Structure 1
Amino acid sequence: MKNRFTIVALAALTLLGTTFTSCDAVKNSNNTQKGAGIGAVAGAVLGGVLGNNIGKGGNGALGAVLGGVVGGVAGGVIGNKMDKQAREIDNAIPGADVERVGEGIKLTLNENAVRFDTNKSSLTTTAKNNLDKLVTVFNQYPDTDIVIYGYTDSTGPADFNLTLSQQRAASVKTYLAGKGISSGRFTVQGMGIADPIASNDTPDGRSKNRRVEFAITANEKMIQDAEQEAKQ
């Protein structure tokens, strides 16, 4: 099935008095325009509010990509670069769920891309093949920070699942770093049974919940370069 590639509108701009008339209007605007709009209503503050609120709900990846909005023209420059990276990831990995959110990317690798067996953190051959495709894209965009979040289904004790989820995220980091990507770009976090994307009442649902998610955001160099470009 074709990957889902969406640009998520920052609907919470209404908190600051800005209302989007329709989802289509947001999708049709370019990221430079959206970045400038965010800057006009204190995008960095908005990003922090959204990130903190979502973070309280447990959604680490989504909170992370919303939590560091640069805004203004520089934010639009970053958004354009993230658009390109998101499209390449979407085209490269069947089964991945790629979302462009704010100035970052939320990437979910579920059982179609990176499958984990119950109570296991080892990577399957299919998982390694898909991560190899991700390596190619990550190498083309070195100026990003990447947080890897590991998840489990609800089988077993909560403390065991929290440790297991950390091990799953670490397995992905270790594999990617072993393929030549700087380990300094990665942070790993175990989320345990938090934020299920399917019902834990069925084997298929539990399989979907045994996953990893990525929050891909601009690093300091990308931000500085974007700010310089915005001044030109």
Structure 2
Amino acid sequence: MKNLSILAAIGLSVAVLFSSCGASNTVKGGGIGAGAGGALGAGIGAIIGGGKGAAWGAGIGAVVGGSAGAIIGNKMDKQKAELERINGAQVESINDGQAIKVTFESGILFATNSSTLSSAAKSSLSSFATSLKNNPDTDVQIFGHTDNTGSDAINNPLSEKRAKAVYDYLVTNGIGGSRMTSEGQGSTQPVADNGTAAGRSQNRRVEVYILPNAKMIEDAQQGK
């Protein structure tokens, strides 16, 4: 029964996402009826977080739709435009426009088998920190990933160190640690073929999710 509920939520999520193709975050945020509710948010949250995103996904889903959803979508549209100007960052809307995913490739952030930030990475993350300061009503989740070269005993702590390196650098640039979390995923979530050098390069990455915090949600419900 539990699996059926999860599949139903995911099915609803996919249907809504495809029906919203081509729309701005503002339009998409307002276009989902309140009936979707927490199930929609939990379904999308579980997809993008490998199951770990369900908790915050449900929080977003509870306010998706109507004017509140449109307000959140509009704010995320504006921050997304800021982030797209950062060198080395791939930016996309998720959760039907009410959250943002930023992917930093390891070629930009780290040398192979290293968790030390390069000068170029620090420059990109400084710009990223500026955007976070300009948009304080968000929470940030940082996930480190590796390719499948080496064992879990190597990859898991390396991915954690990479995520923590980004977390620590953002803290030194004035971003409050209380609004951020960091976590390593090892090699468990590849986005490309580990059988090729190009694919492995894509899999060595850091992903950052920017989510509306409680204040943004409350303000949106009040029409702010």
User: TM-score, normalising length from structure 1?
Assistant: 0.79
2:91 alignment partner AA: V
Greater CA drift, 209-218 or 42-51:
42-51
Name the structure 2 match of 1:4: none
Name the structure 1 match of 2:72: 78
Name the structure 2 match of 1:39: 33
1:109 alignment partner AA: F
- C-alpha distance in 2, partners of 1:100/1:65? 16
- C-alpha distance in 2, partners of 1:155/1:14? 34
Matches within 5 A, 1:136-175: 136-175=130-169
- C-alpha distance in 1, partners of 2:84/2:158? 27
1:53 is displaced (CA, Å) by 4.7
Closer, same or farther: CA 116–60 of 1 in aligned 2, 3 Å: farther
Percentage of pairs with the same residue: 44
Name the structure 2 match of 1:6: none
Name the structure 2 match of 1:177: 171
4+ residue runs of structure 1 moved beyond 6 angstroms?
Answer: none
SS of residue paired to 2:32? helix
Name the structure 2 match of 1:15: 12
- C-alpha distance in 2, partners of 1:150/1:45? 27
2:22 is aligned, of 27, 33, 36, to: 27
The structure that is helix-richer by fraction is 2
Quote the RMSD (CA, aligned, Å). 2.7
Name the structure 2 match of 1:52: 46
Equivalenced residue count is 211
- C-alpha distance in 2, partners of 1:46/1:116? 35
1:104 aligns with 2:120: no
- C-alpha distance in 1, partners of 2:21/2:193? 31
Contact 1:65 1:215 in 2 (8 A): no
Contact 2:104 2:205 in 1 (8 A): yes
1:95 is displaced (CA, Å) by 3.1
SS of residue paired to 2:33? helix
2:72 alignment partner AA: I
1:118 aligns with 2:112: yes
Closer, same or farther: CA 223–119 of 1 in aligned 2, 3 Å: same
List runs of 5+ in structure 1 lacking aligned partners: 1-11
SS of residue paired to 2:31? helix
1:13 is displaced (CA, Å) by 8.4
Task: Give per-residue Cα distances to partners, 1:162-195, cap 9 Å, x unaligned.
Answer: 1110110000010010011111111001000022
